Structure 1
Amino acid sequence: MKTKFTLAVLSAALMVSACHDDDNNDGPVQLPADTPPPAAEEAGMSYVRVTHASADAPLVAIAVNGAVVEGLEMVDYQVGTGLLELESAAYDIAVNALLADGTSAPVIEANLDFAPDMQYDIIALNYAANIEPVVLARDAMGPGDGEIRLDVLHGHPDVGAVDIYLTTAESIDAEGAAIEGLEFKMDADALPVTVPADTYRIRIAPSGTKTVVFDSGNLDLAGGSDLMITAVPNTDGAMTAPVNLLVGDGTSVGVLRDANEQARVRVVHAVDDAPAVDVLASDTPVEGLTMIPFKEFRSIDLPAASYDLKVAASMDNSIVAIDAPGVEFGAGTTTSIYAVGKLNSITDNTIEPLVIAEDLRSVALYAKLRVVHASPTAGSLGLVDIHASADGNFSADTKVLEGVDFKGNATLNVPAGTYYLGVILQSDDTFTPAVSAMATVENGGVYSVVATDDFDNGLLLNVDYMKMMEEM
């Protein structure tokens, strides 16, 4: 048996009963005021899983009865818990957003009554402006050894109703859907489904069509698997499919991407005395990554694979500045490769790659600012501090990153606004920037700020991603 409730943000108390079905829901089921709570030994056990499925919400902390659960202090998007074992009772559940200033704010608060021998999924859905929890409840008794139990939730607010296919046929044109007309955050009578252990291929199509928008490829699912699958917005760099699938198996929640998902690769030329460069894969110039001048960002999407890469002078590909064999780009990842150092001369250069695994997911409540120290000249003078000031005056109080060395990098979460940014040597007690710039950032935006040896023109600023925020 499975029951589903959708709760409003900051909802009042809601009780979920083991035998209370939302098809005939006449209101919350509450114990009479004079009914004493069950003794612990009589309460039985309930099993609870919490998943962050709000695509533009910040990291969250999950609290039970006012206390943050150990290990759940910083839960990111597409991350969920295993099944947590709790004594059956009523609990205050809170999801608190972690803000840019280090404080937190509740985005979901609910009182839930967990019944014995039931399994609950609490899933934070929708965009941050309208974040809401969906609670799914089902019997804790899982499938038999030769069976698989699959529960599915449509968690993409911008996608209409979908049909889900579990066939391994090459085409779904002549196949029937296992689940039809599944709408955002809505339940379906067919769920959960129990099927024999076998090889399955999960494909999703807009309801009533045979146009596949997600294809898992063949999956060998072991008998006894009890899986909670949530389709959520794909925020990966390449975004081959509109959704990723979050798969909870009781121990953890993993991300299942479309079988054809690619990798995004960004190349940044940060060597001030080097000419334009090409990127070669297996000694062949990569289309879209040629003639890259100093201070330019270039991005392309590539099939997820291992590549033998070189960075060579565009005017003569035999002049190789960087030789990087066996570089692995995983599906759904975004990787930045900065060429840093000095050319000096063709035979005596210090050019090397700085490889950074990027997180370009937009967060509605603040901007992300990736700061990269790519100035070898400043690096030779010692560690630097990164400062941010609202009025252009720098002091000990404007320091936001301390002791950054050449090739050091970090991501800052900052509220929307205009900032004066400065790179200041730690040895400089006058707080005079070696290089500076002014940047205006918006909530939901993702930016890169790079210190190069082009001191005259200041810091290199790049808009990696900008989400146009809608009126609240």
Structure 2
Amino acid sequence: MVTRRRLIVAAASAPVVLAGCKVRTINYFPPTPADVRFVNLAVDSPGIDVRVGDSTLWSGVAFEQVTPYVELDNEQTTFQLFATTLGQEVANVTISLAGEQAYTLLSYGTVALTFALVAPDTSSNAGDGNFLFRVVNVAASLPAFDIYIADPAIPVDDNLSPNFSNLQSGSSTIALRLSIGTYSVRLAVAGTKSVVYDSGPQVFGGNLSTDFVAYTLGTASLPQGMQLDVNEGGTQAVLPNRVASARIVNGAVQTGAIDVSIADTSVASALAYATSTTYEFITAGSSLVTAQATSTPGAAIATLQAEFGSARESTLVVLGLPGATRILAFLDDNRLPVAGAASVRFVNASSDTAAYDVFVGDTKLVSALVAGAASLYLPIVAGTNTVTFRDPGTGAVALTIADLAFGDGNVKSIFAVGTAGALASIVNSDR
């Protein structure tokens, strides 16, 4: 290890430099190193290298990967983070390291906008019958959280107070000492009882010290969680969020209003054609989605066994003509776009087979987008513009959305629903 090697060299050379002198005096205090580990939580990062001065401490650390601890001198230290593939510095942070203290260095945010934070870890000595629990929030661009560590059977309601309140992104709590047992870690939007993260039941044993880290997978509301024990050989793993969310788009031609349920729980009631719901919290995992016409309750017009990812947001589109109605599921990417731009996805949710080019102003952004498909999320300079869906062969305009505002930092999904000659638009502001 670089630091340890440096200390050995210094000790070996000391008798030469200080010949005839008493090396240890009453005021001599031997250096005590700090221990530092690194976890990469920058969404979709292909890898990060971490350097201190001319030394590379870790290289190619993948997203959600945790390194072992290394020893560093207890002095002011600057950590520089570089994108592995490009060799470009993406973030840095400076801290005065204390001896005999453990730290976690975290990268977070996105590939386009990466942040760095050094958080002190809990003590490794919680005591028999107890465990120590600290929360680090690096869920960039998400609201602040209230944190509950409680019996899984106790609901988060007005009768339960949070253990920590209003924890902002880029900050950490003090360590909380709790009795060993089974707990659920739940995060709610600060000042509300709206739970956006639920770890499910977790067993915490005696003399355990752990950091719980909240981060984001690119959503507008849902964090993911990770348990990072300080103890040697402890748990270092994702604690999957049991919460997901979904919104419903009604593009079913000639069906009228629809009702939609997920795992027999209603998520849309009397949803009119060419409209959309807001996001609804659901249980992560595989669930049956059922759509029916509001006018004929109990008669399913379409079903889909869909996978709802942990801490992810999805859009379900009901489309098609009577007798051929189906449900399509799209995974949403609501990460914060780069400054000065909106992030926009275009979806051809028409009920026939026509493909369309998509223009913003006079610029073609998407070519021949086939029915039932979505484009990538595209950056669009903030401002007001007109969106058109056009026939790829003739250039004839099939749908116009005039004077659409693309706000700085907005994420939008724009849907074309209906059939050729009778298209309608749905514009969802996802962030």
TM-score, normalised via structure 1 length: 0.58
Residue identity matched to 1:109: N
Q: What residue in structure 1 maps to residue 21 of structure 2?
A: none
Q: Does 1:136 align with 2:133?
A: no
Q: What residue in structure 1 maps to residue 343 of structure 2?
A: 368
CA contact (8 A) 1:423 1:434 kept: yes
Q: How does 1:256-267 map to 2 (within 5 A)?
A: 257=241, 263-267=244-248
Q: What residue in structure 2 maps to residue 220 of structure 1?
A: 203
CA contact (8 A) 1:168 1:201 kept: yes
- How big is the shift at 1:354? 0.8
CA contact (8 A) 1:52 1:125 kept: yes
Q: Does 1:70 align with 2:60?
A: yes
Q: How does 1:189-228 map to 2 (within 5 A)?
A: 191-192=174-175, 197-202=180-185, 218-222=201-205, 226-228=209-211
- How big is the shift at 1:369? 1.4
Q: Distance in 2 between matches of 1:44 and 1:93?
A: 20
Residue identity matched to 2:91: I
Q: How does 1:336-375 map to 2 (within 5 A)?
A: 336-343=315-322, 346=323, 349=324, 351-363=325-337, 365=339, 366-375=341-350
Q: What residue in structure 1 maps to residue 383 of structure 2?
A: 417
Q: What residue in structure 2 maps to residue 50 of structure 1?
A: 39
Q: Distance in 2 between matches of 1:354 and 1:455?
A: 19
Q: 1:148 to 1:52 in 2, by over 3 A?
A: same
Q: 1:338 to 1:146 in 2, by over 3 A?
A: same
Q: 1:275 to 1:105 in 2, by over 3 A?
A: farther
Q: What residue in structure 1 maps to residue 251 of structure 2?
A: 270
Residue identity matched to 1:153: V
Structural RMSD (CA)? 5.7
**Structure 1 spans left out of the alignment, 5+ residues:** 1-16, 19-35, 97-102, 467-472
Q: How does 1:6-25 map to 2 (within 5 A)?
A: none
Q: Does 1:314 align with 2:294?
A: yes
CA contact (8 A) 1:289 1:298 kept: no
Q: Distance in 2 between matches of 1:310 and 1:220?
A: 36
Q: Distance in 2 between matches of 1:275 and 1:465?
A: 26
Q: Distance in 2 between matches of 1:461 and 1:204?
A: 32
Q: Does 1:229 align with 2:189?
A: no
Q: Does 1:152 align with 2:127?
A: no
Q: What residue in structure 2 maps to residue 462 of structure 1?
A: 427
Q: 1:88 to 1:299 in 2, by over 3 A?
A: same
CA contact (8 A) 2:359 2:366 kept: no
Q: Distance in 2 between matches of 1:298 and 1:234?
A: 22
CA contact (8 A) 1:46 1:115 kept: no
- How big is the shift at 1:276? 0.6
Q: Distance in 2 between matches of 1:435 and 1:106?
A: 44
Higher relative contact order (CA 8 A, sep 6+): 1
- How big is the shift at 1:462? 0.8
Q: What residue in structure 2 maps to residue 451 of structure 1?
A: 416
SS at match of 2:375: strand
- How big is the shift at 1:322? 1.0
Q: 1:246 to 1:307 in 2, by over 3 A?
A: closer
Q: 1:353 to 1:256 in 2, by over 3 A?
A: closer
Q: Does 1:94 align with 2:81?
A: yes
- How big is the shift at 1:407? 1.8
- 1:66-124: per-residue Cα shift (whole Å, max 9, x none)? 9994254xx5xxxx43135557476642378xxxxxx9996732356879986422246
Q: Does 1:83 align with 2:38?
A: no
**Structure 2 spans left out of the alignment, 5+ residues:** 12-31
- 1:327-373: per-residue Cα shift (whole Å, max 9, x none)? 56567543322123333xx4xx3x22111122345446342212212
- 1:191-229: per-residue Cα shift (whole Å, max 9, x none)? 54666653234578999x9x9776766421356755211
Q: Distance in 2 between matches of 1:425 and 1:278?
A: 30
1:254 to 230, 238, 241: 238
- 1:139-187: per-residue Cα shift (whole Å, max 9, x none)? 8968799874533336689759x786666895999x9999778975677
SS at match of 1:374: strand
Q: Does 1:405 align with 2:370?
A: yes
Residue identity matched to 2:247: R
Q: What residue in structure 1 maps to residue 18 of structure 2?
A: none
Residue identity matched to 2:259: V
What is the count of residue pairs matched by the alignment?
Answer: 385
Q: Distance in 2 between matches of 1:159 and 1:329?
A: 24
CA contact (8 A) 1:237 1:264 kept: no
Residue identity matched to 2:293: A
Q: Distance in 2 between matches of 1:133 and 1:298?
A: 36
CA contact (8 A) 1:146 1:196 kept: yes
TM-score, normalised via structure 2 length: 0.62
Q: What residue in structure 2 maps to residue 279 of structure 1?
A: 259
SS at match of 2:245: strand
CA contact (8 A) 1:278 1:289 kept: yes
- How big is the shift at 1:441? 1.0
Q: 1:462 to 1:164 in 2, by over 3 A?
A: closer
Q: Distance in 2 between matches of 1:196 and 1:221?
A: 9
Q: Distance in 1 between matches of 2:189 and 2:417?
A: 48
SS at match of 1:359: coil
- How big is the shift at 1:453? 4.2
